[in-house]
Structure 1
Amino acid sequence: MLTTLNSIFGERLKLDERLLKYTAARIGGPADYLVVAKTEAELKAAVSAAWDNEIPVRILGGGANVLASDAGFRGLVVVNHVSEIDFDGQHVHASSGTSLTVLARKCESLGVTGCEWAVSVPGTVGGAVVNNAGAHGGDMAAVVRSIEMFDPARGEYSMSAQELAYDYRTSSLKQRADRRFLVLNVTLDLKPDDPANIAERMQKNIAYRKQTQPPGASLGSIFKNPVGDFAGRLIESAGLKGYTIGGAQVSP
């Protein structure tokens, strides 16, 4: 595997690279091997090298909602920086490494609505597709038309929104026992709207997040709301708001 990765990434292949540089919480010990993929070809080649050699592999986007161990990771970490957005006049196509904030801003400039919720959400498109990320009453399930996938058994193939079987913060991909797959890109169904209206809604979402989320390094909103209740209320009633262990704290 090292020979393959060296031939593709050269000096960009990092050994014993600390993951704290790549996670939103700014924690995480050394990964045995780490590469930053900047093109779809690099992304597929890196994970394929790990799959072919039965080496454990993890893919990071923005590193949001990721708790990396201080012990690090014994295997290959691929940081997905493949970020491209195209608009064909009807649908928006975004690569899996695209920042959700960048996607939301691009949709604003294109005058298409449906992704305003994403402007204040950390992370990237790939993780959002798998986890059905959402906020402010919107989510991926409401806008995804289809995705392009890659895995060692089938190569490249498409999945429809119906096949993703979206539900609250989950999808058929998240439920897969076999984690050997890549989300390459997503096609979104969005509607035309005045960019000024889109910008106004996004600004409200940003303001709300600043009021309710702590600044600085954070895991983000990691708890799912149970049916008929809210995670925040349960955390507060349990007396855990502001609870600290070592350098970690539940937001006050």
Structure 2
Amino acid sequence: MHSLFGERLRQDVPLANYTAARVGGKGDFMLIAQSAEELETSVRHLWNLEIPFVILGSGANVLISDRGVRGVVILNRAQRFDIHAEQDPPTVWAESGANLGLIARTLAHHGLSGLEWAATIPGTVGGAIYGNAGAHGQDMAGTLILAEILHREYGKENWLCERLEYGYRTSYLKKHPGEAVILSGLLRLSKSTRENVQAQMEAFVAYRKRTQPPGASMGSVFKNPPGDYAGRLIEQAGLKGTRIGGVEVSPIHANFFIAYEGATSSDYWRLICLVRQKVLETFGIHLELEIERIGDWDDESAISLS
């Protein structure tokens, strides 16, 4: 691989530095993709060499094993985006590593509406497309026009939103991991005023500060079950403030688990399993993970996912 990637290829990289929860082991190798073109080239090479890889953006919504990640971690830093305010409707095109919140704040400056809900989301465009990120009753399914996809079998294609088969916090790509990689996305906007967009964003930011805890976390751990909220169920099960090792169920919002100094991914996983088991015993509801686990997990942990 060194002959292909040269100095771009790093070895034994601590991955906790690249995740929102600040936990996880080392990656065998890491490549940083600074553009969609670099991302595409890297992925094609790794597919051709049959070398396993994972793509890491902002590191939100992922739990990396303490044992680390075998193969290659591609750190997606393809962050370019272009605003097309003159179009009808206006749009923004963004590479998959671009920060969604930064784009939303930039659009507000231009008086363009459509991404106010994303102002407080810490993830990337690619992660949002992949997992159908959303907030305040809106999501990527209602915003995305098309995604530029690199498919392992068919090469580079433009997928219209409908082809992604969006559901609540899921998509075709999430259900078929390893089949394709997101290179960029085109998002639909509407014209407004800077004052109106900014006011809506500020309201969302204020709501987040009131209802969500500060500190290192992955974001929402579980999906909301139909007709209910995971946080409410966890709270009603008496689990707010429950702690294992360095990880605690937030006393502010029970669907957020906060990592403190010394926390490990194992702490996270043990707490996740405890919370899910308690909610199942109390309410008969099996909470489905919103976060994804990455890396080298043992057989016992894999079995407990079911």
The TM tier, using the shorter chain, reads over 0.9
**Equivalent position of 1:123 in the other structure:** 123
**Equivalent position of 1:65 in the other structure:** 61
**Equivalent position of 1:227 in the other structure:** 226
Percentage identity across aligned positions? Answer: 47
Query: 1:169-212 CA deviation, whole Å, 9 max, x = no partner?
Result: 11122122x51311111111111011111001111111111122
User: SS state of the match for residue 74, structure 2?
Assistant: strand
Query: 1:27-73 CA deviation, whole Å, 9 max, x = no partner?
Result: 11110001221112211122222211221100011000110111100
Q: Which runs of 4+ in 1 moved over 3 A?
A: none
Q: What are the equivalent positions in structure 2 for 1:1-252 lying under 5 Å apart?
A: 1-6=1-6, 10=7, 12-88=8-84, 89-90=86-87, 91-176=91-176, 178-252=177-251
Shift of 1:110: 2.4
Aligned CA RMSD, in angstroms, stands at: 1.2
- TM-score, length basis structure 2: 0.78
Alpha-carbon separation, structure 2, partners of 1:43 and 1:82: 8
User: SS state of the match for residue 59, structure 1?
Assistant: strand
Question: Which structure 2 segments of 5+ residues have no match?
Answer: 252-306
Question: Which structure 1 segments of 5+ residues have no match?
Answer: none
Shift of 1:242: 1.5
Kept in 1, the 8 Å contact 2:35–2:80? The answer is: no
**Equivalent position of 2:289 in the other structure:** none
Alpha-carbon separation, structure 2, partners of 1:2 and 1:234: 50
Query: 1:94-145 CA deviation, whole Å, 9 max, x = no partner?
Result: 1110111111012212221110011101110001001110011211111111
Which deviates more, 79-88 or 41-50? Answer: 41-50
Alpha-carbon separation, structure 2, partners of 1:101 and 1:136: 14
Kept in 2, the 8 Å contact 1:51–1:180? The answer is: no
- TM-score, length basis structure 1: 0.94
Alpha-carbon separation, structure 2, partners of 1:160 and 1:47: 22
Alpha-carbon separation, structure 2, partners of 1:193 and 1:228: 33
